[in-house]
Amino acid sequence: MIKSNRGAALITVMVIVFIVMTIIASLATTNFRMYKRLVNRQLREQSTTIAYSALDFGRAALGTSGATSSFDSLQDVWAQGLPKTKVLDDIYMSGSVVDEQSKFNINDLVSQGIVNPNVLNQFSLLLQYLNIPPSLAYNIAYYIAAPQYQGDIMSQYTMGKPAYSPAGRPFVDLSELILVKGVNQDIVQKLVKYVTAVPVNGSTLQNESSIESAPSGGFGYGTIVNVNTASAEVIAAKSGIPLPVAQRMISYRSAQPFNNTQAVTTFLSQNGVNTSSSQPQPNSKNQLNLAGLGVSSSYFTIHAVVDDQGDEFRFVAFVFRQNRSGQWPQILWQHPE
């Protein structure tokens, strides 16, 4: 009987010890998680502060470059980026600036809610150059057209599974492209190198280097692309010049950037483009639109990376440089990447 009682007491003690150890382990785990959350929060706040410094570096470079030159090119200080730089113990900062006017503005597909036929033709040609079905230009254009003009495509969205409605407004971010019928992730990944989503409704965010004026009573051709930074495909699609000529422009500008639009016209004339004609050029399907080409830019994205040797914190800001007075560009939006 005594042995039985001792055995029961031993089991009781072991159970109590197990319960105490479980509680201690639980408290230790909770404290560790709390500690990690505090550390992660501190690192995130620290990384955000450092990222803002990188963004300011990019804005300062754009302001300085604009004040010291009448054109923008890949030889400018802003285009060189911020190399990986140690700012604190084991924490590094780097950054880069991308000229958004080196790309095709997808929001130009719609003007005041109506699909712009001029830009639709340009975008179709760009997709052809990129080996993407040109018919997707129609799908994308009507996805962002005003709802009253979406009758032909609405059933594709409202009767799908899951059902949803097309945007009926300009794109805010290119990630929205994946919602367009016929567009997949591979197409999105290819397009982001050639396409941008510059705001088109805020007239206060436009200047002479960014938006081509529309003919009276007609459609314009949208946002001007910078021949000193754009790809050959974007230049050719936007201007209607033959793709081989646009490719020669890329080679030429690497040694001598175009400093004004007259230099662009002279180069095109010397390379067989009839700059006095608005008709399609040989090996090109679009009307000639030299007004769509420029040598300066107003819209940029600044990308910042903070590396603590364990994790990377990425931040991006979309900025608008209204003039070349030296003033820092205005931040239109910013968020973690």
Summarize pLDDT for 122-154 with one digit per residue, the tens. 999 999 999 999 999 999 999 999 999 998 899
How many alpha carbons lie under 13 Å from residue 224 in its C-beta half-sphere?
A: 22
Categorise residue 176: left if φ over 0, alpha if ψ from -120 to 50, beta otherwise: alpha
Pair 229, 307 in one domain = yes
Q: Quick one: 230 and 155 in the same domain?
A: no
Q: What is the pLDDT of residues 169-202, one digit of tens each?
A: 999 999 999 999 999 999 999 999 999 999 875 4
- The two three-digit tokens of residue 183, written as one number: 């567009």
DSSP state of 140: H
Residue with tokens 């032909």: 152
Cis omega (within 30 of 0) on the bond before 244? no
**Do 180 and 238 sit in the same domain of this protein?**
no
Q: What is the DSSP letter of 203?
A: G
Model-level pTM? 0.83
Instruction: Please check whether residues 290 and 220 belong to one and the same domain.
Output: yes
Give yes or no: residues 235 and 301 share one domain: yes
CATH number at residue 141: 1.10.40.60
Residue, of 30 and 252, whose pLDDT is higher: 252
Angle subtended by helix axes 232-239 and 117-129, to nearest 10: 150
CA distances from 21 to 26, 30, 53 (A): 8, 14, 47
Quote the CA–CA distance of 9 and 316 in Å, as a whole number: 65
Encoded tokens for 312: 């990377």
State whether 177 and 230 are in the same domain: no
The token pair that represents 58 in the structure block: 């990019």
Same domain flag for 250 and 329:
yes
Question: On the CB side of 257, how many CA atoms lie within 13 Å of its CA?
Answer: 18
Q: If DSSP codes are grouped into helix, strand and coil, which group holds residue 80? A: helix
Range of the domain at 131: 104-193
Q: d(Cα 190, Cα 104) in Å, to the nearest integer?
A: 13
What was the pLDDT predicted at 39? Answer: 43
Main-chain dihedrals φ then ψ at residue 160, nearest 5 degrees: -80, 175
Please provide the average confidence, as pLDDT, over all residues in the chain. 85
126 with 178, same domain: the answer is yes
- For residue 312, the cross-strand partners are 307
